[in-house]
């Protein structure tokens, strides 16, 4: 069983029904599960039906799992394309409403890309889009913006930019999901205890650490500062076991729901990464 101090789990498939992800989570000893609530590669999704919602809620009650949803891949609230921007607003609102219906408290969304229009234009679009989404949604689900790796045209790889975005949105229902792989690839050192302590202080000073609600645990196939979004299995990448030992020693991080998105061939293999992390305690 996972250590009781840790909400440790993985992003699991929903094939066969949303509730099946929770059943899979218990098979590999997860304490938290992240899912897509819809097809992640399409703009439109069939509405949730009452039976699907009840099956999911019953599985949540039975398993006691902490729950997180990840938004589909297409929405980009920072897009300069008007059609994509409007579709993104509708899609994110729909996903928030699905989470509300299912009882999932957090929806993780990639901060997005300005697609060459420049940071200022992307910033304006992103902030406007987030405000429109939340103004039209009266639920309690918190939208978590996920830090980026530093890819070309990305909006949120540097903490200063993320802090500026959060401040401009000015909404309590917006928080942060930190991804270890993305932090590392954006140039933030995790392998040194001193550097990690300094990073956590910087996050608190710029963004308020209380706004960090979820942690994605992913090793990196690319070197620090590479700007490449390339996940790796725990301990097999550039962050390595030393980096994840540092992470698990941090009380502020250890209290968060921690979710694996490592490149496994079959979801059952997540159990190996979970056991690797637990061995570091």
- Active site includes 41? yes
- Active site includes 4? no
- Active site includes 182? yes
User: One of 3, 54, 61, 73 is an active-site residue; which one?
Assistant: 73
- Active site includes 231? yes
User: One of 94, 95, 146, 161 is an active-site residue; which one?
Assistant: 146
User: One of 11, 70, 85, 191 is an active-site residue; which one?
Assistant: 70
User: One of 110, 211, 221, 233 is an active-site residue; which one?
Assistant: 110
- Active site includes 188? no
Are 122 and 114 in contact by the 8 Å Cβ rule? The answer is yes
User: One of 231, 233, 238, 273 is an active-site residue; which one?
Assistant: 231
Contacts of 141 (CB under 8 A, 6+ apart): 96, 99, 100, 104, 105, 106, 107, 173
Q: Which residues of 251-274 are buried (b: 16+ CB within 10 A; e: fewer)?
A: eebbebbbbbbbebeebebbbebb
User: One of 179, 219, 232, 273 is an active-site residue; which one?
Assistant: 179
- Active site includes 110? yes
User: One of 98, 216, 221, 233 is an active-site residue; which one?
Assistant: 216
Collapsing DSSP to helix, strand or coil, 90 comes out as helix
- Active site includes 85? no
- Active site includes 125? no
- Active site includes 114? no
Contacts of 230 (CB under 8 A, 6+ apart): 181, 185, 220, 221, 222
User: One of 182, 191, 211, 233 is an active-site residue; which one?
Assistant: 182
- Active site includes 229? yes
Known catalytic residues? Answer: 41, 70, 73, 110, 146, 179, 182, 216, 229, 231, 261
């Amino acid at each position: 069983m996972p250590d009781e101090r840790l909400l440790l789990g993985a992003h699991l498939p929903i094939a066969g029904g949303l509730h099946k992800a929770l059943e899979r989570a218990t098979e590999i000893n997860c304490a938290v599960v992240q899912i897509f609530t819809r097809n992640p590669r399409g703009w439109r999704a069939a509405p949730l039906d009452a039976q699907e919602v009840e099956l999911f809620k019953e599985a949540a009650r039975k398993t006691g799992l902490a729950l997180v949803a990840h938004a589909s891949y297409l929405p980009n609230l920072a897009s300069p394309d008007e059609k994509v921007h409007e579709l993104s607003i509708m899609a994110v609102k729909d996903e928030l409403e699905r989470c509300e219906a299912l009882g999932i408290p957090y929806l993780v969304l990639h901060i997005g890309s300005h697609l060459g229009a420049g940071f200022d234009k992307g910033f304006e679009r992103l902030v406007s889009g987030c405000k429109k989404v939340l103004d039209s949604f009266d639920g309690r689900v918190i939208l978590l913006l996920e830090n980026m790796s530093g890819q070309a045209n990305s909006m949120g790889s540097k903490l200063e930019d993320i802090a500026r975005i959060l401040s401009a949105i000015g909404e309590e229902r917006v928080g942060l999901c930190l991804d270890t792989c993305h932090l590392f690839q954006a140039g933030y050192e995790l392998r040194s205890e001193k550097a990690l302590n300094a990073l956590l202080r910087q996050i608190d000073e710029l963004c308020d650490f209380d706004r960090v609600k979820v942690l994605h645990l992913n090793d990196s196939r690319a070197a620090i500062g590479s700007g490449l979004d390339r996940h790796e299995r725990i301990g097999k990448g550039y962050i390595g076991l030393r980096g994840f030992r540092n992470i698990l020693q941090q009380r502020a991080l250890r209290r968060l729901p921690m979710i694996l998105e490592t490149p496994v061939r079959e979801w059952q293999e997540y159990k190996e990464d979970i056991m690797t992390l637990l061995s570091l305690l």
